[in-house]
Structure 1
């Protein structure tokens, strides 16, 4: 799957799981690590764990396996690295604290809801 499609697929899967504030950032021109960040908020640790599992399952259905997974035990921030797309799921407090959208403020937002 092409990186843009993969990011949109991941964002839609997170949204389908009732994730809040799903954002896709195109970091290709400002990062040498990945093409896209998908960031979303889970309502509780239980919800975040369920979202992470659901997202991993959906990505596998789409033919993709993560190269790295972090945070599934603490579940206040989970990260799934799919190479060209890195997915960050966080609790609201964690998301506000780290503020990845501000950190990557130069990255254009992808209007994934109107592309999906």
Structure 2
């Protein structure tokens, strides 16, 4: 008997955005990866104003995901909390300080057209 996922990718995305919004996350961006990647359906990037806020957002997200029946695959970066990655299987969430986010600019990287849609030379 195959267990069905408790939440589909869209519902998990919506849960994550709601949690981050409630936690006063700033500049919450959702990137649709369904046509670009096999590792996740959505990537969410949000900023927190302090390491304490970034860690609190990650903790709250993990807590709410577990309450909804989703066990995160992993959480990385909690100790420093300048950039915390929460892997919710179909949704990968990056929580960062504004300066860290500006430096890595992962939204720009993932917002570029997929290679298959790029102009051929």
The TM-score bracket by the shorter chain reads 0.7 to 0.9
Alignment equivalent of 2:73, drawn from 67, 74, 80: 67
TM-score, normalization by structure 1: 0.88
What displacement does 1:76 show? 0.2
Q: Which runs of 5+ in 2 are unaligned?
A: 1-6, 114-121
Match of 2:4 in 1: none
What is the number of equivalent residue pairs in this alignment? 107
Spell out, residue by residue over 1:46-91, the C-alpha distance to the aligned partner (whole angstroms, 9 max, x if none): 1111111111111111111111110001100000111111011000
Matched, 1:37 2:43: yes
Structure of greater Rg: 2
Match of 2:96 in 1: 90
Specify the SS of the correspondent of 2:108: helix
TM-score, normalization by structure 2: 0.84
What displacement does 1:106 show? 3.4
Greater RCO between the two (CA within 8 Å, min separation 6)?
Answer: 1
Alignment equivalent of 1:20, drawn from 15, 21, 26: 26
Specify the SS of the correspondent of 2:101: helix
Match of 2:87 in 1: 81
CA RMSD, Structure 1 to Structure 2 (Å): 1.1
- Indicate conservation of the 8 Å contact 2:31/2:111, yes or no: no
Spell out, residue by residue over 1:4-53, the C-alpha distance to the aligned partner (whole angstroms, 9 max, x if none): 11011101100100000111110111112111001100110011111111
